Chains A and B, each alone.
Chain A
């Protein structure tokens, strides 16, 4: 068996450990700054939440690459190889030497099971997304077009309005909603959805959903929820700018909420009161944010620079990360 194949379980275990470290770091950040973050302006908050959701996979990929650097250097320059400086039984993150000892079988089974579980979950979610995409496509194909406003109008008394599609989202609105809203309110709803389409929120939401699954359970759900609320608030701000009236956006949200409630579009209704009882209703937060002046968007340059510095520092410490990972793996794997 080749060196790479024999070393693969160690690299996989290292990646899983780095991912767990990333998830723990994100959990700690949420505990320390989560509450303060909910008070930030929506655009900056959204960006931070999306970045935070990417911490575990980025940590797994980057730190695995960093831990592999000494071995990659040894491939090019054999004199830099220091694998033999520790015992043969030591776990190797190495492309040059065959590991001295194999990993516990139980650990390999656990890794394979976890990978298979993730793949199944991903496939199930993928099929669901595909089905939803085909449903929206069927709606768009059979609906009538309002060329003037670039809208897809579906024949339904249900008051719905949404941006549909991942890469090239279209604005879909029901005839029932158009009849129920005044022209000014229609402008608000369409401007809100147009903002979703321009921001390609569906696409970034798909990424956040996938990466949130790699976080600790409570943190992942919080990230998804907060990112969704922040995206909605960004689009509310865009609609407020288009309409020139923040209160009109607030009252339109409430009106549509009442219409949806009355029409029974959202089923099963039994769940509705649960989400309200938890006190996390997005409508409440969106409307309350529109009742006050818009918050100033903070600059994220410092946060960006610190992130790049942290990634660079990890690379500069490649030797240390490599040995630390090998020592930790030796304890876990043998």
Chain B
């Protein structure tokens, strides 16, 4: 979580850098640039400032080794996604996320256990009736 209490949002390059670090583990800016920057035609400086921004968003930790910073992720991909999902569910409660998300079952509304049991019994009964009909 960022200082604002919201899950930090990422731009395209930031997401690519995080993906690289999640997959490959800790790295210096030069190594990240070699993996991502050259293919995208961007400079080492851009990668360095992206890493710094991710550090400021509290997604990365860094240690100074020799003259360079070595960056590593502060949270796993799963923890990051958990934060975003939590925020998405909150937005659904406020009715905002509904406009951009259509969930398989409504995340902001639960059926009671007694209703679920009744419906499951109905489905099972119907399945049995269909099975007998085929015999």
What is the size, in residues, of chain B's interface with A at 8 Å between Cβ atoms?
54
Nearest-neighbour CB distance to chain A for B134, whole angstroms, equals 13
Given A261-B110, A287-B122, the answer on whether A142 and B19 have CB atoms closer than 8 Å is yes
Q: How far is the CA of A247 from the CA of B128 in the complex (A)?
A: 11
Q: Identify the closest chain B residue to A188 (Cβ).
A: B104
| Contacting pair A131 B101 (CB below 8 A) | no
| Contacting pair A283 B89 (CB below 8 A) | no
Q: How far is the CA of A275 from the CA of B113 in the complex (A)?
A: 13
Q: Identify the closest chain A residue to B19 (Cβ).
A: A142
Q: Which residues of A contact B87 (CB under 8 A)?
A: 135
Partner of A291, one of B19, B84, B104, B122: B122
Interface flag for B53 (CB, 8 Å): no
Q: Identify the closest chain B residue to A192 (Cβ).
A: B104
Partner of B119, one of A161, A202, A287: A287
Q: Which residues of A contact B78 (CB under 8 A)?
A: 155-157
Nearest-neighbour CB distance to chain B for A186, whole angstroms, equals 11
| Contacting pair B9 A125 (CB below 8 A) | no
Q: What is the interface of chain A mostly: helix, strand, loop, or mixed?
A: helix
| Contacting pair A135 B9 (CB below 8 A) | yes
Task: With A128-B94, A256-B105, A266-B110 given, name 15 new contacts (CB 8 A).
Answer: A128-B97, A142-B19, A154-B85, A166-B99, A169-B102, A189-B104, A205-B99, A261-B111, A266-B107, A267-B86, A268-B93, A276-B111, A283-B111, A284-B115, A287-B119
A interface, CB within 8 angstroms of B: 125, 128-129, 131-139, 141-143, 154-158, 160-166, 169, 174, 189, 192-193, 196-197, 201-202, 205-206, 209, 228, 231, 235, 247, 250-251, 253-254, 256-258, 260-261, 265-269, 271-273, 275-276, 281-284, 287-288, 291
Please name 13 pairs of A and B residues whose Cβ atoms are closer than 8 Å in the assembled complex, sorted by A.
A128-B95, A135-B87, A135-B91, A141-B12, A162-B103, A193-B102, A206-B99, A247-B130, A257-B111, A261-B110, A272-B110, A281-B109, A287-B123
Closest 4 CB pairs of A and B: A128-B96, A141-B15, A272-B110, A132-B97
